[in-house]
């Protein structure tokens, strides 16, 4: 008997340029749903400069660090834990290239190709590895226990025994479906 492959988790950030445009924000969330992403946790927050510097610490000293930190602390961001098979790779493909000019020409249907403005204001951020996903999820959702989620709720998400709640902007257990499957 083979083991069931766990759903992958990744962190997704919709940046201030998207959050200030409710239509763009809703379009991106709809695109995520159409690509079979499950919203495990969602929140909107405004990073202060110190918190933005902490999140982007790995880029300290690089030419774009100050511009990135200033931008990411300029307005609210929409932060999500997303689940699906191969979540990190799929999310990175859906986002498209980091550089917006390249995204617009090489991946025009990607999120950055459609919604990105500049290389800094490129609409989205995504984890680039399982290790960074774990670190980034913990940064924004310190009470979220990835292992506990896989043990307790992951199977319901895997079996699609959840429904999207547009008010909470997350998938929740579909009690009727859970009871039927038990």
Selected catalytic residue, list 125, 150, 169, 171? 125
How far apart, in whole angstroms, are the C-alpha atoms of residue 173 and residue 87?
A: 20
How far apart, in whole angstroms, are the C-alpha atoms of residue 156 and residue 87?
A: 17
How far apart, in whole angstroms, are the C-alpha atoms of residue 83 and residue 13?
A: 14
| Local structure of residue 4 (DSSP, 8 states) | P
Q: Tokens for 115?
A: 């919604």
Cβ–Cβ contacts within 10 Å for residue 23, how many? 8
Q: Judge whether 125 counts as a catalytic residue.
A: yes
Residues marked as catalytic: 125
């Amino acid at each position: 008997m083979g083991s069931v492959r766990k759903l992958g988790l990744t962190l997704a950030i919709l940046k201030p340029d998207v959050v200030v445009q409710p239509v763009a924000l809703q379009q991106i969330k709809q695109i995520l749903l159409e690509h079979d992403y499950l919203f495990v946790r969602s929140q909107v927050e405004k990073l202060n400069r110190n918190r933005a510097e902490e999140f982007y610490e790995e880029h300290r000293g690089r030419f774009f660090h100050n511009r990135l930190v200033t931008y990411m602390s300029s307005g609210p961001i929409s932060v999500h834990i997303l689940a699906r098979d191969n979540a990190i790779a799929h999310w990175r493909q859906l986002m498209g290239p980091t550089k917006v000019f390249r995204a617009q020409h090489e991946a025009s249907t990607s999120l950055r190709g459609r919604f990105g403005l500049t290389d800094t204001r490129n609409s989205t951020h995504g984890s680039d590895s399982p290790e960074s996903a774990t670190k980034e999820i913990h940064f924004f959702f310190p009470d979220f226990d990835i292992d506990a989620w896989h043990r307790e709720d992951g199977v319901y998400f895997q079996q699609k025994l959840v429904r999207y709640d547009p008010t909470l902007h997350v998938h929740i257990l579909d009690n009727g479906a859970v009871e039927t499957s038990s």
